[in-house]
Amino acid sequence: MYTTNKYTLSMLCDALTRRKGMEDRINECYKRNEPALSFIAELHSIYADTCGRDEVQIAEGPMSPIKKKPKTQKEVLFSDPVVEVPAGAKWPDITISFQNSHDVKILYKDVMLGTYSYEQLNFDKRNTTDNPPNKLWALLRVLAVGAEYKSDVEIILTKEHLMDVCGVVSENAVEKQKSDLAKGLRSALGIQESPFETYTPEKGYQTKFILRPEPDMRGDGRLHRSGVVNYNDKIYQ
């Protein structure tokens, strides 16, 4: 019995010694980090006072980095696309259909990839109060109408034709907007070949993918007004 009690006391003494050592290390660590911990506590208090919450809600998982629009050819090549398309996809496999002035449905062959807004696809005006669609989005809508609107007169969207629509005074400026639109589309879908056919004055600007305007602008032989783009005045005169 004496031997057993002596052994138990020895184990208890060792456990208490280890606990004391651990407490000393915790206290030492706390003293080193006391300013940071006090700062966090102060931020917590400010957050609770401002938001009316008793505790800070910590989001699960890593924070998503803020994505920036790619500006250079290199950034386009190495940026992650917004729309996930199958590996090896080509532009003729893609259909982009406007649902309204702000949203498009994107399909790969017969498979729905999703509905995306102009903001999600990075075709918005940054540094503005409401981030409206930019001029490239407006150009894409114009090209959609030109691609599918049916009438007795064939619509050819040439550089000269689009100068007024794009609000520029030279054909080179039209080509620059088309090139910027191509870069935006390549970045959004990750398909690195050009989304446009080779331009000729006889054929005008044509996309390699199927591009459809919003439903009330699809070819029934009649022209409808839709959204902010003045189709009557700028395209069909």
Per-residue pLDDT of the chain (237 residues; tens, 9 = 90+): 455 566 667 777 777 787 787 788 777 776 776 766 666 666 656 555 555 544 444 444 443 344 555 555 545 445 689 999 999 999 999 999 999 999 999 999 999 999 999 999 999 987 777 889 999 999 999 999 888 765 556 678 899 888 887 788 899 999 999 999 999 999 999 999 999 999 999 999 999 999 999 887 776 544 444 443 444 444 433
CA 104, chain centre distance (Å): 13
pLDDT of 224 reads 43
pLDDT of 145 reads 86
- The identity of residue 201, as a single letter, is P
From CA 94, how far away is CA 105, in angstroms rounded? 10
pLDDT of 207 reads 95
pLDDT of 48 reads 55
Give the three-class secondary structure for 113.
Answer: strand
Query: What pTM was computed for the model?
Result: 0.61
pLDDT of 7 reads 61
Domain ranges of the chain: 1-58, 73-234
From CA 121, how far away is CA 137, in angstroms rounded? 10
pLDDT of 232 reads 41
From CA 30, how far away is CA 53, in angstroms rounded? 27
Q: Quick one: DSSP state of residue 158?
A: -
